[in-house]
Chain A
Amino acid sequence: MKDLDVEGVTLWKGTEADAVCGVVPDRVARPKDTEALGRLLAAARATGATVTPRGGGTALDWGSPPRSLDLMVDTSALSWIDHNAGDLVVEVGAGTPLAELRRTLADAGQRLSYDPLRVGGTVGGALATGVSGPRRLLAGGLRDLVIGMTLVRADGVVARSGGRVVKNVAGYDLAKLHTGGYGTLGVIASAAFRLHPLPPAVRVVSVPLRSREDTERALADLRATTVVPAAVELDRDRLCVVLEGTAEGLVPRVEETLRALGEDGAEVAEELPEDWGLLPTEGTLARVLAPPAELPGLACDLDADVRGYGSVPAGTLYLAFAPGTPADVVEKRLAAVRHVPDRTAVLLRAEPHVREAGVDPWGEVPGLSLMRAVKDSFDPDHRLSPGRFAGGI
């Protein structure tokens, strides 16, 4: 592995602490910039090394274990922020901690309209896992906020797609393709995002989750309003509606929301809860996609050992199983979702005993043959996080 010792890269021996779903990398390398990352991946190609990138390492247990892992690429040195406040645009290195980005933007009265914030998570990791949090109703998910990306291909070639302007239709939108790609198509070196002004005030109207019928009725009444929620979130046993605007402007909007949801047990807060949008860091975790109107039904009939979180209008429900939940319980719940048309479920994180029991993490993924073709094009030797993705990609 001496051949991986290229200019601008710090290289060391991998240990248990660097394991990805139990697979220990032979080497860990930290490139100092995009060019060094390019040289490193070119060298990896020459030696045939398999590669998995790592940002903050907070979500390495998402996805399946890699079939092989020679080289872990640590992005922590790719950390920089180039903020153009006047254009509401920021370009950041992939290794930049999300928390640091948030602070920098907040100082200028702006934000990347993305939540939640997992302490220790990086921009690259958030992009690669590709999941979007609750407040995606107004500005969209992370995929909608990325306007450009620089990535390093499996062969070490550095390529850019998009740019630094919010409106741009020149070329394919490869930034979206890599968002949610778990690093199986390339390593993200940096990305540019469109930003939004921080709202002057926030209100969180929440009510206890009631019966399925009551919840459906409340949501229908809410849809009939024009309050423009930033989030309509199922958070365990509560239904939360987030409104953003000015303090005065929010008054009638909160009233209208309360009328729709019902005042019984309702609470109005002026801040998001501390753990807003965060999912448990332990236990098996699944994501269900379904037509939005079916979410109350899905959420209201969960057993005590599964908690539901999700964005109703987006049709996304996360199922968090209590740690230690047996594989057959997980499998049954997934099967119950998957056998209904228009519903899909994947395991984001499977506890080792669930994985070892052979529970299918992906189910049937539409478009898999195209995804394989894309993978073959970008990574013909299947060296980038092999086996981490849908269909064993």
Chain B
Amino acid sequence: MATSAHQTNIPAALTALVPRLREICGEDGVLTDLSRRRVYESDGLTYHRATPGVVALPTTTAQVAAVVSLCAEHGVPYVPRGAGTGLSAGALPHADGVLLVTSRMRRVVEIDPENECAVVEPGVTNLDITRAAAPHGYYYAPDPSSQQVCSVGGNVAENSGGAHCLKYGFTSGHVRGLEIVTPSGEVVELGGKATGAHGYDLIGAFIGSEGTLGVATRVTVSLTRSPQKTVTLLSAFTSMDAGGEAVGAIIAAGVLPSAIEMMDALAIEAAEAAVACGYPAGAAAVLVVELDGPTSEVDAQVERVTELCAASGSFETRTASGAVERALIWKGRKSAFAAVGRISPAYIVQDGVVPRTALGEVLGRIAALSAESGIRVANVFHAGDGNLHPLVLFDDAEPGAGERAEEVSGAILDLCVEHGGSITGEHGVGVDKACKMPRMYSDDDLTTFDLFRRAFDPAGIANPDKLLPTPRLCGERPGVRTGVHPLVESGQAEQF
């Protein structure tokens, strides 16, 4: 494979590196062939594309360290990549750099029920941890809906959460130890099987750093005891306001569900058309509420939540505790993103956060934005923690429609910031939102972030041009997503 003909495509700066990369990762661990490199040209946000200069597929920490050291020695940028499901172009390759893919580091090193933890390599999928822990009565709590595919390394880099993070929190609350390779190629072990470590909380600061502080090569995660009982409720309302009121009432009553999800009429209509989920007819809003824990507590909470929904104007509440019935309730919610793809040729998925008490107001403003612009917006979101995922629909065949949709989508983010929220609750900043960081943070805040980054990466080779705005990056105009995500289409992942 390593003929010079294949290598002519490789940027000149990298040709000297290739033989050394092959020494480190083996013949099959280095991809130089253009067609094979192209496989990695984007992550889950497919409209940002770049062909990686060269792809390295290490199998051990020592190999990762050697690859990174080589990059450091030559001043070549590198980009870590897990499963490539990220939705902010965090794993967008560098055309003149090395793409360091963890997909061959997939060992579950240890399941340790006595210490209620697991030790895994970064390429292990999120769901594989739960699969390995299940026989012992445990599971891995953070559950991004891409969990069948996404890697633990990616979860660490994005501080991923899932529908159940309302109660169980994000990745950062479940990582006890990290082995990392720093941007200079040094292997550092942080923490271990105890929770916390002495000294600065570098684990806490590394989680969510989007590959800019180094590569996670081994992760020790907490395992959570599977709950005694889980109940899922579906409650239907005649208005979004009434649904929102129920969310506030549940929280105010001191009940902490593991998930509270909400869908509006357009999202329900799409889900109904796609998977016939059989949600109550005439619902302008539905809530999916999940409660888990000891049976004696859950039973009382189910009763309480049912009452609170009724008091807020719910006209029907269904309850399910068996796995099959629960899956039926979740079906509509989980299929919503893909379903919207069927009622619209294209859409943009936004990810923003507002304080829960501002939900009603912000949803009203989004509806007004939609009415003014004539652009439809479907709302499917994590209501319990105010994490909105508005889907902005448009027809990509229509000239200018994409730009108009992009404007609406951007205006929604502005609304989030204006109400004291965040520009991203789970998808991260990556390339996609780097230029939006100044909407949320002052120059002083951003230079402080940069001070921290430089402590790890003084040479600026670790996933450069991500997370923080740079002039090079922010001159470019963002694009739009068209159609349904390929992973969703192929049934490998649910987006919600």
Residues of A within 8 A of B (CB): 84-89, 109, 130, 132, 136, 140-141, 143-144, 153, 157-161, 163-174, 176-177, 179-181, 185, 196-200, 220, 223-224, 226-228, 245-246, 248-253, 287, 289-293, 311, 313-316, 342, 344, 346, 362, 365-371, 373-374, 376-378, 389-390
Contacts and interface: CB of A to CB of B under 8 A. Distances in A.
Contacts of B327: none
13 contacts: A88-B251, A141-B195, A159-B444, A167-B425, A168-B425, A169-B158, A173-B204, A223-B114, A223-B225, A224-B137, A228-B294, A314-B195, A367-B190
Interface residues of B, number: 86
A167 B422 contact: yes
Contacts of B356: 86-88
A342 B193 contact: yes
A36 B440 CA distance: 23
B445 interface: yes
A316 B159 contact: no
B303 to A, nearest CB: 11
B354 interface: yes
Given A167-B385, A228-B293, A160 B353 contact: no
A224 B447 CA distance: 48
A292 B194 contact: yes
Interface stretch (B14-22, B93-101, B264-272, B448-456): B448-456
A171 B449 contact: yes
B420 interface: yes
Contact of B252 (A86, A89, A223): A86
Interface in B318-369: 353-357
Contacts of B422: 163, 165, 167-170
Contacts of A251: 296
A291 B188 contact: no
B198 A346 contact: yes
B207 interface: yes
A176 B448 contact: no
B227 interface: yes
B194 A172 contact: no
Q: Which among A169, A366, A371, A374 has the greatest number of chain B C-beta atoms within 10 A?
A: A169
Interface in B66-115: 113-115
B475 interface: no
A387 B51 CA distance: 48
- Residue in A87, A89, A136, A200 with the greatest tally of chain B CB atoms within 10 Å: A87
A227 B294 contact: yes
A316 B194 CA distance: 7
Given A226-B225, A370-B456, A377-B451, A185 B114 contact: no
B165 A316 contact: no
Contact of B188 (A292, A313, A366): A366
A46 B186 CA distance: 36
B451 A171 contact: no
B228 A226 contact: yes
A313 B208 contact: no
Given A144-B169, A159-B448, A292-B115, A169 B426 contact: yes
Contacts of A371: 199-200, 202
B194 A158 contact: no
B116 A223 contact: yes
A376 B296 CA distance: 53
Interface in B224-247: 225-228
Contacts of B251: 86, 88
B294 A170 contact: no
Contacts of B198: 287, 289, 344, 346, 362, 365, 390
A166 B256 CA distance: 14
| Residue from the set B200, B201, B421 with the largest chain A CB neighbour count within 10 Å | B200
Question: Looking at B189, B440, B445, which has the most chain A CB atoms within 10 Å of its CB?
Answer: B445
Given A176-B201, A292-B115, 11 more contacts: A86-B248, A132-B196, A159-B445, A163-B420, A169-B429, A180-B199, A185-B200, A226-B294, A245-B296, A291-B194, A378-B455
